[in-house]
Each structure stands twice: as C-alpha cells, then as structure tokens.
C-alpha cells in the first residue's frame, strides 16, 4: 500500500486565517487493539511522516484521534509517540466521541490544542457527533461517519470512500486506510444536524463528482440521480 498516496487522497488542504491548513478525520489510532488484529500496522507513524512531509501551518484533526474510548497505557504510549513525531506542528483536535481523556496526553505538548469545535473566521471545524454550537458560520468541515458509497453492477459490489457535501457541510472520510467506512445513507443519520438532510453530493477522493443522492428515500438499492 502506498500510504502517502492514500493519505493525500483522504485529506484536504484549505486556507484559514492560520495559514495553509491540513484537514484529516478519524485516524482511530490504536484501532488494531480493538479490532482483533494480531499485528501492528504502524499506521500512526506513517501518518506522522505524511504530515511532516506536508508541513502545514496548522493541522486540524476532526475528531476520533484514537480508537478506544478510554486511555490505556498502550494507547497513551501510541499517542505520545504520534504527537512527538509531529515535531511541533501546530495541531488542533476537535474532540470526537472516541476521544475521552485525550486532553491528558495533549496537555503535554505545547503545540497541541483540544476543543469541542474550532471557528476560524466564518469556517467551523468539528467532529459531528453532537448538536451544532451556537456560532455563526458559512461553511463547516466534519468527520464522524466515515462516509463510503457502494457501487453495484452485474452482481458485484464495490465500496469506496467518499467526500460528502450537504449544504454548508463537507464530511471527510476516515484518513485510516485500514478502516473501510459506512454507507453514507446510513451514516449521515449519526450526525444530529444532518439526519434530516434531503440530499447530498458525493465526490471521490480524486475530486470526481459522483452525483447527488436522495437521503429521504433511503434504500440499500437506491441510485444516485
């Protein structure tokens, strides 16, 4: 697997008041421990290498930095290694539902901040598992649902990760190449402020527009129009 290429496809570079900003969502560091894998993938080390190569002015992680909800000795060690490998790159974490006690690790690094959400000018960054903060914004970026779409043709199914645009909201896929993702038509119901969204636009990581999907007539067999 070409990790650098995968990370490049599954992340975004945007301009914010704090400079060139790299966005990633849902790394789920330590996922091997919770998913029964008997081998270490060293995923978080490769992700840190990619971030260093990108050298952003600001890194925003849109929640679920880690997989286990708690903070075991092993997870703490993995997170300490990950943040150490970032070598001082300014990092903001918008806390996700898996990020319990992550502040206990982040506080050891002057370059890492943890918040429920981040508002830079009129752009909002958050994980997506809670209600919207009461702030004014024009556009928002979130993660949480690991969006994917399944193509079905000739009896063959293929699931691909997608970026999802629903009004002012852009949902990023998980940056973790070992995590497949959820069908967006099911996943979007896990976002309180998008569960009644009528439709969404789907984009492949390469930027190809797949089309619009009707979310009101949810069916495993529905097609994009």
Q: What integer pLDDT is reported at residue 222 of this predicted model?
A: 42
> DSSP letters of 146-182?
-EEEEEEETTEEEEEE-EEEETTEEEPPPS-TT---E
Burial annotation 150-172 (CB, 10 A radius, 16+ → b, else e) = eeeeeeeeeebbbbbbbeebbbb
- Per-residue pLDDT of 4-32, as tens digits, reads 999 999 999 999 999 999 999 999 999 98
- Per-residue pLDDT of 196-222, as tens digits, reads 999 999 999 999 999 999 988 654 444
Section 192-199 average pLDDT: 95
Q: What pTM did the predictor assign?
A: 0.94
Binned at pLDDT 50, 70 and 90, residue 62 comes out as very high
Q: What integer pLDDT is reported at residue 35 of this predicted model?
A: 64
Q: What integer pLDDT is reported at residue 50 of this predicted model?
A: 98
C-alpha radius of gyration, the chain, whole number? 17
**C-alpha to C-alpha distance for 220 and 149, rounded to whole angstroms:** 10
Section 176-190 average pLDDT: 93
Section 137-164 average pLDDT: 93
> Which stretches does DSSP call E strand in the chain?
12-16, 19-24, 58-61, 91-94, 112-115, 117-120, 123-126, 139-142, 147-153, 156-161, 163-166, 169-171, 182-183, 199-203, 209-214
Q: For residue 173, is pLDDT > 50?
A: yes
Q: Could you tell me the domains of the chain?
A: 3-214 (3.60.21)
Mean pLDDT of the chain: 93
- Per-residue pLDDT of 88-129, as tens digits, reads 999 999 999 999 999 999 999 999 999 999 999 999 999 999
């Amino acid at each position: 697997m070409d990790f650098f290429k995968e990370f490049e496809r599954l992340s975004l570079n945007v301009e914010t008041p704090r400079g060139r900003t790299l966005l990633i969502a849902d790394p789920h560091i330590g996922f091997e421990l919770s998913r029964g894998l008997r081998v270490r993938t060293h995923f978080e080390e490769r992700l840190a290498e990619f971030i260093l190569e990108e050298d952003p002015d600001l890194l925003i992680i849109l929640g679920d930095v880690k997989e286990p909800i708690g903070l075991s000795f092993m997870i703490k060690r993995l997170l300490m290694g990950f943040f150490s490998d970032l070598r001082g790159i300014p990092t903001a974490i918008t806390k996700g539902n898996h990020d319990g006690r992550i502040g206990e690790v982040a506080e050891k690094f002057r370059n890492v901040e943890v918040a429920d959400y981040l508002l830079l000018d009129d752009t909002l960054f958050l994980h997506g598992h809670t209600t919207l903060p009461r702030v004014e914004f024009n556009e928002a970026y979130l993660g949480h649902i690991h969006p994917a779409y399944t193509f079905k043709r000739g009896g063959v199914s293929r699931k691909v990760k997608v970026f999802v645009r629903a009004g002012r909201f852009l949902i990023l896929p998980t940056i973790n190449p070992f995590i497949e993702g959820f069908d967006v038509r099911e996943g979007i119901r896990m976002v309180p402020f998008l569960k009644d969204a009528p439709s969404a636009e789907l984009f492949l990581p390469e930027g190809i527009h797949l089309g619009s999907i009707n979310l009101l007539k949810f069916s495993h067999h529905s097609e994009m129009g």
